[in-house]
Amino acid sequence: MKIAFFDTKDYDIPYFTEEGKRYGVEFKFYEAKLSLDTVELARGFDGVCVFVNDEVGEEVVDRLFSFGVRIIALRCAGYNNVAIEHCYKKIHVVRVPAYSPYAVAEHAMALLLTSVRRIHKAYNRTKEFNFSLSGLTGFDLHGRTVGVIGTGKIGRIFIDICKGFGMNVLAYDKFPGQAEGFSYVSLGELFERSDIISLHCPLSEETYHLIGAEAIGKMKKGVILLNTSRGALIDAEALLEGIKARKVGAALLDVYEEESDLFFRDFSGHIVEDDTLARLISMPNVIVTSHQAFLTQEALKNIAETTVGNLVAFEREGVCENELCYRCGNIETCKRSRLEKCF
């Protein structure tokens, strides 16, 4: 198979090249993101491999289909950037549902510890030989209540980490599973009772701006908000107002709703025109990392292995267990047997 690989980063190339050679999958690496402006680069390929900020809307899908592209391989779990419904009966879509849930959950806890123990501030001070402890007082996580929205694999692992710190865990999920050592509650109750709220749910029409002005208004004064999932789960303007009003005590963000033109690139020598992001970053109680929660050696290896495995299964068998299909109306948990083709 010949696959056009979009939005390539240096760390992608060795993992995908090695795995591709093992199974006879040839990748052509493009630095550009897939969009209507760059879709022509996919002409002549069997499939495309895309990431979170590639734009695979209806027009792009139609162009890919006209080129004879048969598969869109997402090298991530989320698929909100792909017109899945429009792909049906045109192009098959596969994803990597779990590359390293530990990587994301551990990064979320790293952000939380950095914030509550002021590690980022201490680091900057000691680099200048300033060893004062003034303003560095933190608080214990033990005994605090954390609200976890989304109890899939990543959410569950984050819950286990929090329990290890002796935290009380509340959870909300549209499709709750078995609760072990934590309690499922309504979203409203989670907002009202949680000292810390961490987002681990997918982005959909239903969860878009899940955290907005109304939700923040229900939260405790000084609440800490953590987002390592999808940027648009949080209304950035409402978050900014919540911070200014001293309602939000800290915001720890690995994602941002307008990140697609900014994250994964170096703008250190430029003026960033996104005023909301610039104001958030300027706040002393905000930590922003640039969608790096997934970025571990184990995760990169798993992403490459699963993505290539998806492509090989599709090519050899015509069926892939990680395919997203809209035929049943349930994209992730299709009612059909995974031994059948979607179309």
Question: Would you please indicate which residues are annotated as catalytic (active-site) residues?
Answer: 230, 259, 291
Sign of the CA dihedral with 297 first, then 94, 76, and 215 last: negative
Tokens 């599709």, located at residue: 314
d(CA 39, CA 138): 49
d(CA 191, CA 201): 15
Task: Return the closest-CA partner of residue 68 out of 95, 90, 38.
Answer: 90
All residues at 6 or more sequence positions from 150 whose CB lies less than 8 Å from its CB, including other chains: 172, 173, 199, 200, 201, 202, 229
d(CA 104, CA 292): 8
